[in-house]
Amino acid sequence: MILSDTKILAEMRRGRIVIRPFRRAGLGTNSYDVHLGPYLAVYTEGALDARADNPVEEFRIPEGGVVLVPGQLYLGVTEEYTETHGFVPFLEGKSSVGRLGIDIHSTAGKGDEGFCNYWTLEMSVKLPVRVYAGMPVGQLIYFEISGPVARSYGNKPSAKYRTVSRHPTPSRMYLNFGKRPTRPRR
């Protein structure tokens, strides 16, 4: 079941859901609006390697916004830090953002119980569009879990995104292959 607005607030009081900063206006009927943080990053190599720590270039979104262009993957970050204990958070794009042709994630919309961090966004656009730091970009939806959780995300040895960061976090897929490989020389 999806948590309602009153249930989200009750679970925040209990400390099972944490949203910082929390804006009451961001609370919807059964979701909470998150905002685009101040940083974007782009990969600097033309071809990415799943076994490598691919380099990124990060930049701050200027006050006048930045135009995102089709064909480029942008890593963004939410302005909000969140914690979820005893529920499964899902991050979906806001319909107003989707109607501008902006996708905020390609595959990583589901969080894990015990996830405590900012959300990295995998942003792409269908047309050039200007975006601004602080704009509403997505909504968190919380699902109840059926049954006990044996191991929370923060306690999993394989959890690759536990280090709290206000900056976009590039893929850490390379950690699935064991040691940290280097990119092959061309």
Which pTM was predicted?
0.89
Give the HSE-up count for residue 131: Cα atoms under 13 Å, Cβ half-sphere: 32
Percent of the chain with pLDDT over 90: 74
Catalytic residue numbers read 122
Q: pLDDT for 74-125, tens place per residue?
A: 999 999 999 999 999 999 999 999 999 999 997 777 888 999 999 999 999 9
* pLDDT for residue 162: 76
Residue 32: name the closest of 137, 134, 153, 104 by CA: 137
Q: pLDDT for 18-49, tens place per residue?
A: 999 999 999 999 999 999 999 999 999 889 99
C-alpha dihedral, 90 to 140 to 7 to 19, nearest 10°: 120
Tokens of 45: 């190599």
pLDDT at 65 over 70: yes
CATH of 5-47+54-145, one of 2.60.120.10, 3.60.15.10, 2.70.40.10, 3.40.640.10: 2.70.40.10
* Domain regions of the chain by residue span: 5-47+54-145
